Amino acid sequence: MFESPRARSEARRATSPSVGEQASTQRDGRNRIIDVKFCAHPFVALILLAFSTARLSAAESLDESINYLLNYVAKSDATFIRNGQSHTSQEAVDHIKAKYEHFKNEIKTPEDFIRLSASKSLLTGQPYLVRSKDGKEMHLDAWLTDALKKHRGD
């Protein structure tokens, strides 16, 4: 029942790892931590890459949609009416581009572009109109929204 100090010391040595084994265990523990760190960094990088790619493609999509709408106006055979005065399609494009530059920081979607750049006069509040060759008039924002839906395949 009673063990001598020497017997207790030998029993401890038999159950505890040697100095070399302790170093190995600590090294393995450190490697596990390092392995987790190495695994975490690529995972975080992958998430950041996916996020930035999504933002980039959203930006490309916005630019693509805005360019489509500007080309749609430019290539149309219509008259554009702003504050009661008629304008050519090129004049309309130039004016819409100028308003786009003014509101660029607020425009996050093609719908924002239409609402802020191509819907109404900032001075008078009058809606912009488009008149087709057959004389039919409609609000420019509705006309562009229909074009955007066709572009998207809606």
Q: What is the pTM of this model?
A: 0.62
Provide the strand spans (E) within 5-154. Answer: 79-82, 85-87, 129-131, 137-139
110 pLDDT above the threshold of 50: yes
Place of tokens 């005065």: 85
pLDDT band at 50 (very low <50, low <70, confident <90, very high): low
> Of 96, 86, 149, 146, which Cα lies nearest the Cα of 120?
96
Place of tokens 């494009």: 93
Side-chain half-sphere of 124: how many Cα atoms within 13 Å? 8
Place of tokens 């100090």: 5
Task: Output the pLDDT for position 154.
Answer: 77
